[in-house]
A and B are shown apart, each in its own frame.
Chain A
Amino acid sequence: MADASVHRVSRKRRLRPLAWLALAALLALAIALALGSVGIAPDELAAVLLGGGDALHQTLVLELRLPRALAAFGTGALLALAGALMQILLRNPLADPYVLGLSGGASVAALLAMLAGASMALVSGAAFVGALVSILIVFGLAHGTGSWTPTRLLLTGVVMAAGWGALISFLLAVSPVDQLPGMLYWLMGDLAYAGSPWPVLSVAVISLLVVTPLGRTLNVLARGGLQAAALGVAVRPLEWTLYLLASLLTAVAVTTAGSVGFVGLMVPHMLRLRLGNDQRLILPASLLAGGTLLTLADTLARTLIAPQQLPVGVITALLGVPSFLYLLSRSR
């Protein structure tokens, strides 16, 4: 009985922050629907959401704001979760979803597609393929023969990222001038081009279902591979699962909105500073907090200096850096 009550308390302790984060997520989505370069009063917004309201407001809220807010939420959620997984996998606090060169592969393929004059859907498809190619190259090289360590994976990925970076610079240098703005916005991350939000959202839900049962095992792995192995964890298969899962999440996110920076690196850290390092809590919390941050950031990106539009990556860093530094200084 005593054991059960301890369990219940700790579960309650995990659920409370998650409930708050879920509330924050809903609030962020509401803000995203309410704000835009056209002012819509709260009662008019309510009318639209109940299926009525002005025809123009219906278009603005349901056709423009809602899909974009959901795409932002899904993308942020995937990036933050992928970042948390990468940090556990590589046992390195500097790891983010892009550290292993994945966004580089996606970017090179996307820029090539843009150069070829492909439609946005094809550009997204190319980005996904580029991300997969990068995943497989890094996987193949790091897997190789002989001893495998997270360090080897990290080095392989970082070097690949540098290689992709050079190719991106090359493509930018030879591209026609009129293509450059679109390319730069894609590289900075931009939700204006995001299509349907359902792929990111469904992948976010599925990935949550996949990682939730892994929480306890990941807690052990986070303490180190040797300890985990001693405690009976099949370390290597688990690590490869983590790598592939995090990579696929990132690939879907990058495909939706280009390489949005910062979310994947900082959100898991911010949560760890505040909530401790229990993966059973951190992983779902990352999902919610990442989605919330990107939704808010994108709302600001499209309203801050409207009608001028900013790339969302600018805002995620501007919002995230001070709040992260604040949390860091308070945690001492």
Chain B
Amino acid sequence: MHKRARSVSMAVLPLTLIIGLGAGLPGIARAEVCVGDDAGHELCLEAPAKRIVALSPGVTELLFAAGAGERVVGAVSFSDYPVAAQALPRVGSYDRLDLEALLALEPDLVVAWQGGNPREQVERLSRLGLPVYFSDVEDFAGVAGTLERFGTLAGTPEVGATTAASLREEVATLRERYANAAPVPVFYQVWEQPLMTINGEHWISRSLELCGGVNLFADESTLAPRIGVESVLARDPEAIITGGMGKPDSTWLEAWRDFPQLTAVQRDNLFFVDPDLVQRATPRLVEGTRQLCQRLEVARGRR
């Protein structure tokens, strides 16, 4: 893979030179930047990227947080945060890319979502000589590491490092604060029809864990398993938390009141969290985690 990344960077060299000359900075020495991506590839660029295309809403958000926002020239549908991202040219949706529109933006770096983007299409981009970074962020450590690497790739290493450091600090503060919190058995509802939750590997589950929540479906095998209502009743959560379908909407939570024997219903521990804050693994997840922790505190108070 190392070899591939090298040949890729060779192909980009003329482009970067042209851009460099165009920007009137021919004299400045350019250092090669290298990072390892989440797919285990080593990716080297002759110079920090200036035209980046982000292939998932989460990646877009991470790039902006790493200070690379001005260098992002294309994004996919639903890339709605920060506000500046909403005006970016679109290159299709994350699961179906418009390769033509993407190539027309003449990017010098493509940041793909490993596991989300169609592999065949992303591989075609690699074959066409574009440097591709595969991103697959799983938790806070991943968010922080990604911020640093995106900063490096985009020539904004200071912003990336600062944001990553403050993120690590905030998470450490939260972790310390809830280190001795009493465990609360939680059911996190992702969807209603079909009824879906998350397993222990999902970052929402890890965020819950951080402040004493116990995901009752942590040992399911898939990341977002479909489950039956019966299994929720059998495990009797003390709190039910959901992000709902976007806007605060209590219909999913109200439906649980049909089962008054549930501890969560008896104690009225039916909580809503802002889905935008928890459903993407980005720096905003810290705020989302705070919301989750605060809900769990409320649940503890009702014992």
Contacts of A5 in B (CB 8 A): none
Which stretch in A144-152, A173-181, A202-210 binds the other chain?
Answer: A173-181
Q: Which of A64, A181, A190, A195 contacts B99 (CB 8 A)?
A: A64
* Closest CB in chain B relative to A36 CB, distance in Å: 5
* Alpha-carbon distance A176/B196, docked complex (angstroms): 11
A241, CB-defined interface residue at 8 Å: no
Question: Contacts of B128 on A, CB cut-off 8 Å?
Answer: 59, 63
Distance in Å: Cβ of B53 to nearest Cβ of chain A:
11
**Does B92 belong to the interface (CB within 8 Å)?**
yes
Choose, from A9-17, A91-99, A126-134, A303-311, the stretch at the interface. Answer: A303-311
- Interface positions, chain A 129-143, Cβ under 8 Å from B, are none
B77 on the A face (CB < 8 A): yes
User: What are the residues of chain B within 8 A of A190 when measuring CB–CB?
Assistant: 96
Whether, in the assembled complex, A275 has its beta carbon less than 8 Å from a beta carbon of chain B, the answer is no
Are A182 and B103 interface neighbours, CB within 8 A?
no
The residue on B at minimum CB distance from A124 is B120
CB-based contact A306/B101 at 8 Å: yes
A38 within 8 A of B: yes
Q: Indicate if the CB atoms of A309 and B98 lie closer than 8 Å.
A: yes
Across the interface, do B103 and A185 meet the contact criterion of CB distance under 8 Å? no
Against B, the Cβ 8 Å flags (1 = close, 0 = not) of A159-188 are 000000000000001001110011001000
Given contacts A120-B119, A182-B95, A193-B118, contact A60 B100 (CB under 8 A): yes
Cβ contact within 8 Å between B120 and A37: no
Contacts of B103 in A (CB 8 A): 38, 56, 59-60, 64
Q: Is the CB of A56 within 8 A of B104?
A: yes
Number of A residues, CB within 8 Å of B = 27
Tell me whether A181 and B104 are in contact (CB under 8 A).
Answer: no
Segment touching A, from B22-30, B179-187, B221-229, B231-239: B221-229
Q: How far is the CA of A252 from the CA of B97 in the complex (A)?
A: 25
Residues of A within 8 A of B97 (CB): 192, 309
**CB 8 Å contact bits of A106-134 with B (1 = contact, 0 = none):** 00000000000001100000000000000
A176:B98 contact, CB within 8 angstroms: no
Residues in A whose Cβ lies below 8 Å from that of B100:
36-38, 60, 64-65, 302, 306
Contacts of B176 in A (CB 8 A): none
CB contact between A308 and one of B98, B99, B119 (< 8 Å): that residue = B98
A60 touches B104 (CB 8 A): yes
> B121 contacts the other chain (Cβ, under 8 Å)?
yes
Q: 1/0 contact trace for B200-228 toward A, CB 8 Å?
A: 00000000000000000000001110100
A119 to B124, CA, bound (A): 13
Docked complex Cα distance between A173 and B196 (Å): 12
User: How far is A66 from B204 in the complex, measured between Cα atoms in Å?
Assistant: 44
Complex Cα gap A36–B91 (Å): 13
Answer yes or no: B115 CB below 8 A from chain A CBs. Answer: yes
Query: Is A177 touching B196 in the complex (CB atoms < 8 A)?
Result: yes
Residues of A within 8 A of B121 (CB): 192-193
Interface residues in B, total, Cβ within 8 A: 28
Which residues from chain B contact A59 at a C-beta distance below 8 Å? Answer: 103, 128
Question: Is B106 positioned at the interface, with any CB of A under 8 Å from its CB?
Answer: yes
B92 touches A193 (CB 8 A): no
Within 8 A of A (CB), among B101-127: 101, 103-104, 106, 115-116, 118-121, 123
Q: Which residues of A contact B115 (CB under 8 A)?
A: 178
B50 within 8 A of A: no
Among A120, A178, A185, A307, contact of B98 (Cβ-Cβ < 8 Å)? A307
Question: Which of A120, A176, A192 is in CB contact (< 8 Å) with B222?
Answer: A176
Write out the residue numbers on chain A whose beta carbons fall within 8 Å of the beta carbon of B96: 181, 185, 190, 192, 308-309
Are A307 and B91 in contact, with the CB atoms below 8 A?
Answer: yes
> In whole Å, how far is B134's beta carbon from the nearest beta carbon of chain A?
14
Tell me, yes or no, whether B290 is within 8 Å of chain A by CB. Answer: no
Taken together as a complex, chains A and B put the C-alpha atoms of A36 and B93 apart, in Å, by 16
Residues from chain B with a CB closer than 8 A to the CB of A120 are 119-120, 123
Within 8 Å by CB of A178, from B77, B116, B123, lies B116
Q: Which listed residue (A173, A176, A185) contacts B95, Cβ 8 A?
A: A185
Q: Does B90 contact A (CB under 8 A)?
A: yes
Tell me the complex Cα distance, A192–B128, Å.
15
B251 to chain A, nearest CB (A): 21
**CB pair A177 B101 closer than 8 Å:** no
- Residues of B contacting A64 in the complex (Cβ-Cβ under 8 angstroms): 99-100, 103
In angstroms, Cα B121 to Cα A182, docked, is 11
Q: What's the minimum C-beta distance from B95 to chain A, rounded to whole angstroms?
A: 4
B118 surroundings in chain A (CB, below 8 A): 182, 192-193
State the CA gap A185–B93 with chains docked (Å): 13
Residue contact A302 to B98, C-beta cutoff 8 Å: yes
Docked pose: A38 CA to B96 CA in angstroms: 17
Q: Within the assembled complex, what's the spacing in Å between the Cα atoms of A278 and B48? A: 65
C-alpha spacing A176/B225, complex, angstroms = 7
What's the Cα separation between A36 and B101 when bound, in Å? 9
Please measure, in the bound complex, the distance between the C-alpha atom of A192 and the C-alpha atom of B96, giving whole angstroms. 8
- Residues of B close to A185: CB separation below 8 A: 95-96
Q: Is the CB of B224 within 8 A of A309?
A: no
CA A66 to CA B106, docked complex, whole Å: 20
Those of A294-332 within 8 Å (CB) of chain B: 302, 306-309
Given contacts A176-B223, A307-B91, A308-B90, 11 further A-B contacts (CB under 8 A): A36-B100, A37-B100, A37-B104, A56-B106, A120-B120, A177-B223, A185-B95, A185-B96, A192-B97, A307-B101, A308-B92
- Report the 10 A-B pairs with minimum CB-CB distance, sorted nearest first: A307-B98, A181-B95, A120-B120, A309-B96, A38-B104, A307-B101, A37-B101, A307-B92, A177-B224, A176-B222
Some 7 contacts from A to B, beta carbons below 8 A apart, are A59-B128, A64-B99, A64-B103, A178-B115, A308-B92, A309-B96, A309-B98
